């Protein structure tokens, strides 16, 4: 009996020791404010109005390149399983050349107030939309920073902007939204020296909000936007009231790896999520990730090489970007002849081919594909593995969309986000929900922020 007790206590002590050992978090690395571009040294803290204005010459060059494009015919019956199907690509390019009207699209893109301001040496472009003046008396206004990822842009958020700044009878708040182009993406300048990783972008975003006049604000993001938002609440928790992500990405610790392994044998033990089919079985998830993340390996190692081809060819750029919009919104689209990027069903969805081409145009016209891909090189091996394991107490909300490319166990998410106050399992949608499911996205963000407000203020709004 005594022996048994001693062994049990020994095992428990060893388990406790192991748990603590596996749970060790490295300290946060220092983030130095850096000037990312050589400049003349003058200080300019002004905010200037901005609008997109593309020259005729530029558009003519694009048309010439679209006309001169060449294609390897696809194999018979493979749809999108070998990558972007060039039969369908030719149809899209034909539409782009003959029916897509940039002048109209430019007007739509310029229909929201845009600005630029210099931060850490870089001109940063952003949309800043306020609620209507007569709303201000009835509702509190919450500043919300929306962060896009790759291969997206500010374009992803256009449909949700008017909804977010509109009052809703159930809630006592509306949002005032700021949507920046990430450095090196679209209309924001790229660094000319290495090292601009997500943690340093987090500093730039904090400085942007401070410059606009917000010392405390909310942050929303998916993809890189989620990782940058996570760095913001890790490095600058005092600046962020709450964080919402449509793809919460907790850093993988030794402890979380053990949880994943246990979960692969006993999924019921680790999660009651209706999405456990997206977590397990391991074999299938790993096969899926191996098939779908080649781009990540390329961009995290030699972004400039693939960048040469994509910067030079508008058709190659469109195939590379739109393949992600096809598969990441629903991987079953790989098995259809148009990859889900139909030209015909324009009105049945929340977006149309013109919206997809706007996003491609933002990369093409600004020549930013190479600099956008460098974010993988800068960040995959540095911040993601270095800084982020440190837990954060900033109230966090995670939305899980069924066709997202990966999901994480709630208990692993909680290792990083200690105050996870809201976790939703969405009925539909994938990797670009603001773009794809604007209404669903907005109602989820409102509910999440309401829950965060209740948590922080100990209030009892009905969310
Ligand atoms: C765009 O630039 C042209 C030439 O520089 C100018 O005439 C035009 O007014 C500009 N348009 C806008 C919307 O700024
Ligand atoms: C390709 O699409 C067709 C039509 O939707 C479908 O019948 C076929 O099974 C698909 N094949 C593959 C390999 O995805």
Residue 170 Cα, ligand 1 centroid: separation in angstroms? 43
Which is catalytic among the residues 185, 355, 431, 444?
431
Q: Which ligand is nearest to the CA of 49?
A: 1
Annotated catalytic residue 431 = yes
Q: Which ligand is nearest to the CA of 74?
A: 2
Q: Give the CATH number, domain containing residue 434.
A: 3.40.50.1820
Max Cα-Cα span within the chain:
88
Taking CA atoms only, the protein residue closest to ligand 1 atom 6 is 53
Domain-located, residue 2: no
Domain-located, residue 235: yes
Taking CA atoms only, the protein residue closest to ligand 2 atom 12 is 335
For 293-324, how does the pLDDT look when each residue is reduced to its tens digit (9 = 90+)?
999 999 999 999 999 999 999 999 999 999 99
Q: How do the pLDDT tens digits run along the chain, 463 residues long?
A: 677 677 676 676 666 666 666 666 677 888 899 999 987 778 899 999 999 999 999 999 999 999 999 999 999 999 999 999 999 999 999 999 999 999 999 999 999 999 999 999 999 999 999 999 998 889 999 999 999 999 999 999 999 999 999 999 999 999 999 999 999 999 999 999 999 999 999 999 999 999 999 999 999 999 999 999 999 999 999 999 999 999 999 887 788 888 888 877 777 777 766 666 566 667 777 888 889 999 999 999 999 999 999 999 999 999 999 999 999 999 999 999 999 998 875 555 667 999 999 999 999 999 999 999 999 999 987 655 455 678 999 999 999 999 998 888 888 899 999 999 999 999 999 999 999 999 999 999 999 999 999 999 988 888 8
Instruction: Name beta bridge partners: 423.
Output: 398
Domain-located, residue 6: no
From the CB of residue 317, how many other CB atoms can be counted at a distance below 10 Å?
A: 19
**Contact in structure between 462 and 170 (CB atoms under 8 Å):** yes
- Specify the long-range contacts of residues 161-164, CB closer than 8 Å, at least 24 apart: 161/112, 161/127, 161/129, 163/438, 163/439, 163/442, 164/442, 164/445
Give the range of the structural domain holding residue 57, as residue numbers without chain letter. 47-457
- Rg, C-alpha atoms of the chain: 23
Annotated catalytic residue 185 = no
CA 139 – CA 141 distance, rounded (Å): 6
> How far is C-alpha 187 from the chain's CA centre?
17
Domain-located, residue 41: no
Domain-located, residue 22: no
Q: What is the DSSP letter of 26?
A: P
| Buried/exposed 82-98: b ≥16 CB within 10 Å, e otherwise | ebbbbebbebbbeebbe
Which residues line ligand 1 at a C-beta cut-off of 6 Å?
A: 51, 53
Domain-located, residue 189: yes
For 151-163, how does the pLDDT look when each residue is reduced to its tens digit (9 = 90+)?
999 999 999 999 9
Question: What are the respective helix, strand and coil percentages of the chain, to the nearest 5?
Answer: 50, 15, 40
CA 192 – CA 371 distance, rounded (Å): 9
Annotated catalytic residue 223 = yes
Is 78 a pocket residue for ligand 2 (Cβ < 6 Å)?
Answer: yes
Residue 77 Cα, ligand 2 centroid: separation in angstroms? 6
Total number of domains constituting the chain: 1
């Amino acid at each position: 009996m005594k022996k048994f007790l001693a062994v049990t206590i020994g095992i428990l002590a060893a388990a406790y020791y192991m748990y603590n050992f596996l749970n060790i978090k490295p300290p946060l690395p220092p983030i130095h404010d850096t000037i990312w571009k050589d400049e003349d040294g003058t200080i300019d803290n002004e905010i200037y109005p901005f609008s997109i204005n593309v020259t005729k010459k530029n558009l003519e060059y694009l048309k010439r390149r679209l006309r001169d494009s060449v294609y390897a015919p696809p194999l018979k019956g493979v749809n999108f399983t070998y990558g972007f199907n060039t039969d369908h690509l030719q149809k899209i390019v034909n539409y782009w050349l003959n029916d897509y009207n940039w002048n109209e699209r430019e007007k739509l893109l310029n229909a929201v107030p845009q600005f630029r301001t210099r931060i850490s040496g870089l001109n940063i472009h952003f949309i800043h939309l306020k609620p209507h003046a007569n709303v201000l008396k009835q509702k509190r206004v919450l500043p919300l920073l929306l962060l896009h990822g790759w291969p997206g842009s500010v374009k992803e958020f256009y449909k949700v902007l008017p909804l977010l700044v509109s009052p809703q009878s159930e809630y006592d708040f509306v949002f005032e939204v700021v949507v920046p182009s990430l450095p090196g993406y679209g209309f924001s300048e790229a660094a000319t020296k290495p090292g601009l990783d997500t943690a340093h972008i987090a500093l730039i975003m904090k400085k942007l909000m401070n410059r606009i006049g917000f010392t405390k604000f909310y942050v929303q993001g998916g993809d890189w936007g989620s990782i940058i938002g996570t760095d913001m609440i890790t490095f600058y928790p005092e600046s962020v009231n709450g964080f919402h992500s449509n793809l919460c990405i907790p850093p993988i610790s030794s402890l979380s790896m053990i949880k994943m392994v246990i979960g692969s044998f006993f999924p019921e033990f680790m999660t009651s999520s209706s999405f456990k089919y997206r977590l397990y079985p391991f074999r299938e998830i790993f096969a899926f990730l191996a098939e779908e993340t080649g781009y990540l390996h390329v961009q995290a190692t030699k972004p400039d090489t693939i960048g040469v081809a994509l910067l030079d060819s508008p058709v190659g750029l469109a195939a590379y970007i739109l393949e992600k919009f096809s598969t990441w919104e629903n991987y079953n689209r790989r098995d259809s002849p148009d990859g889900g990027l139909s030209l015909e069903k324009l009105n049945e969805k929340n977006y149309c081919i013109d919206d997809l081409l706007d996003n491609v145009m933002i990369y093409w016209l600004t020549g930013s594909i190479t600099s956008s891909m460098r974010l993988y090189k800068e960040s995959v091996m540095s911040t993601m593995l270095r800084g982020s394991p440190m837990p954060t107490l900033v109230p966090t909300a995670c939305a899980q969309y069924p066709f997202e490319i990966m999901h994480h166990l709630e208990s692993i998410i909680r290792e990083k986000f200690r105050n996870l106050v809201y976790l939703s399992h969405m009925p539909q949608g994938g990797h670009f929900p603001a773009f794809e499911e604007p209404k669903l996205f907005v109602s989820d963000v409102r509910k999440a922020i309401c829950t965060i407000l209740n948590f922080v203020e100990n209030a009892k709004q009905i969310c």
